[in-house]
């Protein structure tokens, strides 16, 4: 048995495709299941850290707080919240909870001039002063900068322009759409660079993302990916290499078609890994790409955790661990936010299984 590691050591060993003391564990959930888990463990509703400690989560994110002016007004009479990028969201209730849905798409028909003038956050309007202190306070954990939205083009631009228009932008080289892609990437890269600089070596890896697949096929061709998406992603990866930290990229759906390019680009790990999607089965990923990539995810939010029994959940999680653990290189995590329709007892069993059977 490997001697006990800190979370930082455990994750960095795994991202280097080596064998740690146990699989690193990560967590993400919708508000409904998050609240139920806190109640189950007797935690306060705002005890985010307590829940992560109970679940054995090894990851923590580092962000700079935005301190600038509100750039886009909310629309309270319609229940629409508008963030600092200008993305419109409204709350939609459903039988097991609710979610924030995108609406209005204010840049759908915008011209190049309108996009050039569209207010986006200024990197100067973030508070980087406490980053180093936060890193020291959480130094036993694996600290990441960014997240699945860093570098994201198709999904996040679709929130402003519609998914259809973004795909048209990529196919037709639409100047307005391409300008939005460049502006957002440049802004987010500068914010990320300043966080890394302020952290003074305290951040362990970069997390970025791009949704590249449906359940059955790629969203776009490899040629289009290489023409428009890869050069912008490469800027993120190159920034991480300046600070000598590994890179993990989030990709929903059938996305293994891009993994050979990821390897060439310097990506170290891939996240999400929806096992129901084409060419995303855990055994296939481990056999085909395990020599060059580490993995984070594989536990479906649309499988036994949501629809099975506790016994089904345990068996499913054990099978995934047995497939992905050999030789290291696997982080146990849900494929997306755990959904409100997942029974609390199944989610508890999921994490108990990781802690019990994820030990080397």
- Tens of pLDDT, residues 262-292: 999 999 999 999 999 999 999 999 999 999 9
Domain span at residue 305 reads 7-68+109-357
DSSP 120-154: ---GGGEE-TTHHHHHHHTTTSEEEEE-TTTT--H
Tally helices (H) and strands (E) across the chain: 15, 12
280 belongs to a structural domain: yes
185 belongs to a structural domain: yes
Q: Which pLDDT band, with edges at 50, 70 and 90, does 95 fall under?
A: confident
Residue 243: which CATH number? Answer: 3.20.20.210
The predicted structure's pLDDT at residue 98: 84
Q: Which pLDDT band, with edges at 50, 70 and 90, does 83 fall under?
A: very high
| pTM (whole model) above 0.95 | yes
Judged by DSSP in three states, 353 sits in: helix
Mean pLDDT of the chain: 97
Asked if 11 contacts 59 with a C-beta cutoff of 8 angstroms, the reply is yes
Domain count within the chain: 1
250 belongs to a structural domain: yes
75 belongs to a structural domain: no
First to last CA, the chain: 6
160 belongs to a structural domain: yes
31 belongs to a structural domain: yes
**Total Cβ atoms within 10 A of residue 173:** 10
1 belongs to a structural domain: no
- Tens of pLDDT, residues 185-225: 999 999 999 999 999 999 999 999 999 999 999 999 999 99
Residue 264: partners with Cβ closer than 8 Å, 6 or more residues away: none
CA 29 – CA 337 distance, rounded (Å): 4
228 belongs to a structural domain: yes
Residue 142: partners with Cβ closer than 8 Å, 6 or more residues away: 7, 8, 10, 11, 12, 24, 58, 59, 60, 204, 205
């Amino acid at each position: 048995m490997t001697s006990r590691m800190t979370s930082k050591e455990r994750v960095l060993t795994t991202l280097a495709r080596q064998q740690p003391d146990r699989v690193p564990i990560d967590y993400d959930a919708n508000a409904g299941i998050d609240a139920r888990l806190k109640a189950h463990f007797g935690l306060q509703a705002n005890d985010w850290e307590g829940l992560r400690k109970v679940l054995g989560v090894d990851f923590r994110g580092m962000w700079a707080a935005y301190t600038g002016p509100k750039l886009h007004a909310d629309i309270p009479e319609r229940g629409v919240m508008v963030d600092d990028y200008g993305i419109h969201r409204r709350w939609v209730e459903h039988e097991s909870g609710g979610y924030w849905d995108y609406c209005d798409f204010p840049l759908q028909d915008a011209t190049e001039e309108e996009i050039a003038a569209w207010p986006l956050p200024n990197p100067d309007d973030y508070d980087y002063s406490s980053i180093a202190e936060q890193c020291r306070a959480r130094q036993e954990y694996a600290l990441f900068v960014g997240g699945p939205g860093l570098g994201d083009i198709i999904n996040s631009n679709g929130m402003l322009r519609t998914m259809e228009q973004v795909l048209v932008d990529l196919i037709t080289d639409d100047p307005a759409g391409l300008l939005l892609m460049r502006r957002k990437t440049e802004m987010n890269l500068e914010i990320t660079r300043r966080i890394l600089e302020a952290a003074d070596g305290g951040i362990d890896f970069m997390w970025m993302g791009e949704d590249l697949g449906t359940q059955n096929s790629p969203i776009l061709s490899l040629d289009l990916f290489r023409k428009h998406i890869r050069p912008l992603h490469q800027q993120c990866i190159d920034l991480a290499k300046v600070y000598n930290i590994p890179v993990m990229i989030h990709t929903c759906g059938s996305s293994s078609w891009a993994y050979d390019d990821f390897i060439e680009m310097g990506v170290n790990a891939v996240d999400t890994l929806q096992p129901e999607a084409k060419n995303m089965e855990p055994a296939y990923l481990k056999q085909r790409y395990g020599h060059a990539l580490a993995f984070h995810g594989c536990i479906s939010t649309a499988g036994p955790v949501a629809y099975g029994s506790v016994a089904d959940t345990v068996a499913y999680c054990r099978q995934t661990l047995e497939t992905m653990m050999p030789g290291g290189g696997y982080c146990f995590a849900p494929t997306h936010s755990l959904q409100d329709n997942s029974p609390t007892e199944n989610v508890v069993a999921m994490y108990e299984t990781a802690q019990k059977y994820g030990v080397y």
